[in-house]
Chain A
Amino acid sequence: MIQSDIHQNGICVVVPGTERLTAATAGDFKSEVSKLVDGGHDRLIIDLSKVTFVDSSGLGALVGVLKKVGNRGEIVVCAPSDSVAQMFRITRMDRVFATYPNVADALKTLQGQG
């Protein structure tokens, strides 16, 4: 179960309610974040600080939500662990998702763009 928190300019910080964003959890994650997007939240920060591992299904869920948002908004990630950052690098997802060291930095950047 994700946790979401709406900030200034409608920016939504999403915390996945799991330490492992994998095939076992990615479907629920994508479904719950998609509901946020359907509800009009299309500027999302995915806070990965509590996520220790992301597999290809987890990446697929993130890409799926990114495609759902499309050009209407944006999705960034923040605070990936070393191993999650490595997964993003080897799959080239670091070229797809802007990454910030923490929620505050991501908020500052997105609010500056809003």
Chain B
Amino acid sequence: MTFSMAAKIDDVDPMVLQLKAIAETVLDPDRVVAFEIAISEALTNVVRHGMIGREDESVAIDLQPKDDGLVVVISETGTPVPPELIANISDLDDLDQFAESGRGIALIKACADSLEYASENGINRLFLRFSNSTELEK
């Protein structure tokens, strides 16, 4: 299933709710929470950073149900995330508790079972996997 949203911050929440409704048919309730957090952060990052000023363009989200979970691929044509940022994602424990920003990527990493990112031929793709066999960190 592939979905598309405009690269606007106001479009993130409606899209997250649409995707969450599908995740609820595949994932356990705890994993749905993780899914919602990770997808919300990922789409917000795309709109706030990669696609800033490009509200007329769109972001594609592909959901692929698997035997034990769900794979999500977010594709867009914005500014790529620097490789060093992906390679050095902080643990949430290492972040300043009183920081007002900068938790997004760490949250995605903490909530998804796997995170991969590739930028090729002008298209950036974020691959996230959510498995029912994993418990969200308590």
Binding site for B on A (CB under 8 A): 20, 22-24, 53, 55-57, 59-61, 63-64, 66-67, 82-83, 86-87, 89-93, 95-96
Contacts and interface: CB of A to CB of B under 8 A. Distances in A.
Contacts of A90: 37, 92, 107, 110-111, 136-137
Contacts of A22: 12-13, 40, 44
Contacts, number: 69
Contacts of B36: 53, 83
B97 A95 contact: yes
B99 interface: yes
A55 B36 CA distance: 9
27 contacts: A22-B12, A22-B13, A23-B12, A23-B44, A23-B47, A23-B48, A24-B9, A24-B10, A24-B12, A53-B40, A56-B104, A57-B101, A60-B100, A61-B100, A63-B99, A66-B98, A83-B36, A86-B30, A87-B33, A89-B138, A90-B37, A90-B107, A90-B110, A90-B136, A92-B97, A95-B97, A96-B97
B41 interface: yes
Contacts of A66: 98
Looking at chain B, what size class is its interface with the partner chain?
A: 20 to 34
Given A64-B100, A83-B33, A86-B136, 20 more contacts: A23-B9, A23-B12, A23-B44, A23-B48, A24-B10, A24-B12, A55-B37, A56-B44, A56-B107, A57-B44, A59-B103, A60-B99, A60-B101, A63-B98, A67-B100, A86-B30, A90-B37, A90-B110, A90-B137, A92-B92
A93 B97 CA distance: 7
A45 B9 CA distance: 28
Contacts of A63: 97-100
B67 interface: no
A53 B17 CA distance: 10
